């Protein structure tokens, strides 16, 4: 009996000194492997917007393959990306959007908002279908110039942007975007990091001409989302409607400081 008690006490002491390790993650974080979305069915357009912070993760590591893996797991038809270096010294001369496009097997278009560290810094679009044409519209930004990247396809047009941190600039940008959207007689989808909450003046102005497809669930910061600042909208025009199949803020907590946001829609 004494021997059994001694062995039991020894085991307890060893466990206290060397506790058994278990797989765990910080509160609020989700592994990249914890989600995988099925490819949308034929006739459904999956639109993704993602501020990738130049692929700098919440762990302080810049990892292009990790961001590519996130995008591939979502299986989007088209992607609006923000915060991308193009051949800058910060990124060792790498064309970040091209790397993401090659890794994902998608077409790409880049829009430079500003010159930056020997290269450029701006926004981009990835698409499974090759665009008919593309263009770039400069937008106001007191702290940093902004822009609207436009990609036109057979059945729709995608607007991609990253708005200013200044409310007056954001409101002025909405007015310019509304004017530009009037040039198209097909579905227009507008996606990006708008740097503002749903109750702001800029969003209020926007929703007079556009429908919020993605909702208002928090998207930032990725490791514990508290604010909705990433959106996908559709233009209210010409009797063209959208059937929303799915809205999703992807629980990706590491690859960037923003969560990816996507919608599945059917153009009507």
CA distance 99 to 151: 19
- Residue 134, helix vs strand vs coil: strand
The answer to whether the peptide bond before residue 45 is cis (omega within 30 degrees of 0) is no
User: What are the residue boundaries of the structural domains of the chain, listed by start?
Assistant: 45-267
CB-facing half-sphere around the CA of 239: CA atoms within 13 A: 0
How do the pLDDT tens digits run along the chain, 268 residues long? 444 444 444 443 433 333 322 222 333 333 444 689 999 999 999 999 999 999 999 999 999 999 999 999 999 999 999 999 999 999 999 999 999 999 999 999 999 999 999 999 999 999 999 999 999 999 999 999 999 999 999 999 999 999 999 999 999 999 999 999 999 999 999 999 999 999 999 999 999 999 999 999 999 999 999 999 999 999 998 888 899 999 999 999 999 999 999 999 999 8
- Decide: 252 and 70 in contact? Cβ < 8 Å: yes
- Residue 258, helix vs strand vs coil: coil
Residue 35's pLDDT is: 86
The token pair at 179 is 């004017």
Structure letter (DSSP) for residue 23: -
- Decide: 202 and 174 in contact? Cβ < 8 Å: yes
User: What is the dotted CATH code of the domain comprising 45-267?
Assistant: 3.60.10.10
Closest-CA residue to 246 (of 77, 68, 69, 66): 77
CA distance 112 to 48: 20
CA distance 109 to 64: 17
pTM above 0.85, yes or no: yes
Pairing of strands 261-267, 45-51: antiparallel
The token pair at 151 is 């990609």
């Amino acid at each position: 009996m004494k021997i059994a008690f001694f062995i039991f006490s020894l085991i307890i002491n060893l466990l206290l000194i060397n506790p058994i390790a278990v797989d765990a993650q910080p509160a609020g974080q989700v592994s990249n492997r914890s989600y995988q979305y099925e490819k949308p069915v034929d006739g459904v357009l999956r639109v993704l917007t993602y501020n990738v912070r130049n692929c700098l993760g919440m762990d302080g590591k810049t990892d292009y393959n990790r961001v590519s893996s996130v995008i591939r797991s979502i299986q989007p038809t088209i992607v609006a990306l923000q915060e991308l270096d193009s051949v800058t010294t910060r990124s060792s001369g790498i064309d970040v959007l091209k790397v993401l496009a090659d890794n994902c097997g998608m077409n790409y278009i880049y829009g430079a908002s500003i010159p930056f560290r020997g290269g450029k810094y701006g926004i981009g679009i990835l698409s499974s279908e090759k665009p008919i044409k593309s263009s770039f519209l400069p937008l106001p930004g007191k702290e940093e110039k902004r822009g609207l990247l436009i990609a036109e396809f057979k059945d729709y047009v995608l607007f991609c942007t990253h708005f200013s941190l200044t409310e007056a600039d954001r409101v002025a940008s909405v007015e310019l975007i509304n004017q530009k959207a009037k040039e198209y007689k097909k579905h227009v989808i507008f996606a990006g990091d708008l740097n503002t909450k749903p109750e702001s003046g800029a969003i209020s102005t926007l929703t007079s001409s556009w429908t919020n497809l993605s909702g208002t669930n928090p998207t930032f910061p990725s490791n514990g989302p508290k604010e909705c600042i990433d959106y996908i909208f559709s233009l209210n025009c010409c009797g063209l409607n959208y059937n929303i199949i799915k809205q999703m803020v992807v629980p990706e907590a590491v690859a960037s400081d923003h969560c990816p946001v996507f919608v599945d829609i059917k153009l009507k």
